[in-house]
Chains A and B, each alone.
Chain A
């Protein structure tokens, strides 16, 4: 029931209804459940309501979280801080290549 899909806002119909492109040419009218949404924004849509915006900055923060995890495990397993950071940096660099493609 809590499945949500990414979509692109196509138009704002009223103060509470927007049209979104769910992909593959599927356009749906949905309720607006977030502040300051505008055409062109990427959003998450669940059961006909926009629950949150989706941003590249958020994806970068997400990747930083995983990079910190990688570094932490390497440190727990006995690697020096420098070596552990190198492993995390390598992951982050590769991930950013995808995000910039």
Chain B
């Protein structure tokens, strides 16, 4: 059997192990709940893929009542500010070829281009703009070289995506006609922001965090050590199969029980190293610098984004095209609660728009657009609440 198939057999199609870990979680959770004096042991994830696994495999339904799994800021598409999308739409309507990932294509804006009905890159293309969906930055480079047209790549993503841009800029593979509009985000500052918000708002505090596996493959499990060290919150970096997430929950319970909360646990050892991918870190640091960044519906979080360094300013779309940053203005559509969903203070089902005015086919808010937005995930695979309701209705 080839390695990927073996991994599937061990971590995905392993009902016996899932049952065994779930039983251990059920044994430990009531003990820990009493020990820490909280009725709910709230565990937050910071990756849309973790939310996907949790919901798709119905892991919430396997949890005891005392354990609550909540999605946190883990979807870069959901938090891309409306002003960035509006700026890129304007470039597309003015004749630039715009390259973007498929997830970004349908993202709605709050302000429309020249009062026309151009509220997304999809709408711009429908009106004749040259908007091209690509699989990767490599594909955009090849296409821009062939066309020779003035072009802009809409650079979205967390730390996982950033190496693809960094290595290609650093090795001088990007043609002069391809500018880069950075909307890159860093996960840790937003994760800390969300956890602090739960405390300051007087909500049930976050008792444990599941660190994003693929982001951590770049920045290292070590990057999450501030949670155990400064906040005494257990952290575990896990993979993206159901066994990985269950093992992560169990580890958090064990740490809470022992009180030995000093460093980040690393479950996803088949991919992630404690120090991360040092090669990629060096490349990223050569090309990008940390900047304050706007998170959609939330506002500015200090040093939570990346933009090209001065040495690469000839590729920087904002600088080359004179695009001025405006102060943040609330940028969610009326009624949308995507910001609260992103910060883990509301579930998608708490939003009155969910699966009514806002559906995957016609997304009203950004969390319904990307496959990794919590609303889109819950819409496709259902929530525990919806399943429980359906079961009770059937009974």
Tell me the A residues contacting B by CB distance below 8 Å. Answer: 1-4, 6, 15-17, 23, 28-35, 42, 44, 46-49, 51-52, 54-56, 58-59, 61-63, 65-66, 69-70, 72-73, 76-77, 91, 95, 98-99, 101
Contacts and interface: CB of A to CB of B under 8 A. Distances in A.
A70 B372 CA distance: 31
B270 A32 contact: no
A1 B10 contact: no
A23 B167 CA distance: 25
B363 interface: no
A59 B270 contact: yes
A50 B10 CA distance: 23
Contact of B167 (A29, A49, A58, A72): A49
Contact of B269 (A42, A58, A101): A58
A17 B137 CA distance: 11
Nearest to A55: B270
Contacts of A77: 27-28
Contact of B214 (A4, A42, A63): A4
Contacts of B27: 73, 77
A58 B212 CA distance: 17
Interface string B363-378: 0000000111000000
Nearest to A1: B76
Nearest to A47: B161
Contacts of A17: 138, 173
A28 B135 CA distance: 10
A58 B270 CA distance: 4
Contact of B20 (A4, A30, A72, A91): A91
Contacts of A4: 160, 214, 217, 240
Given A2-B48, A99-B6, A29 B138 contact: yes
A4 to B, nearest CB: 5
Given A16-B171, A99-B6, 11 more contacts: A1-B103, A6-B7, A15-B171, A34-B277, A44-B217, A52-B217, A52-B271, A54-B3, A56-B3, A66-B21, A76-B257
Nearest to B76: A1
21 contacts: A2-B160, A2-B215, A2-B372, A3-B214, A30-B136, A30-B138, A33-B283, A42-B3, A44-B214, A47-B160, A48-B135, A48-B136, A48-B138, A51-B160, A54-B271, A58-B270, A61-B269, A62-B239, A65-B247, A73-B254, A98-B10
Contacts of B270: 54-55, 58-59, 61-62
Contacts of B301: none
Contacts of A31: 136-138, 163-164, 167-168
A31 B372 CA distance: 23
B3 A59 contact: yes
B156 interface: yes
**Which of B160, B240, B280 has the most chain A CB within a 10 Å cutoff?**
B160
B296 interface: no
A101 B394 CA distance: 43
A19 to B, nearest CB: 11
A49 B215 CA distance: 13
B237 to A, nearest CB: 11
A44 B273 CA distance: 13
B163 A51 contact: yes
Nearest to B269: A61
A99 B3 CA distance: 8
A17 B164 CA distance: 10
Contacts of A49: 136-137, 161, 163-164, 167
Contact of B101 (A30, A47, A54, A58): A47
B339 interface: no
A95 B157 CA distance: 35
B251 interface: yes
B160 A65 contact: no
Contacts of A66: 17, 21, 243, 247, 267
A46 B171 contact: no
Contacts of B20: 70, 91
Contacts of B164: 30-31, 33, 47-49
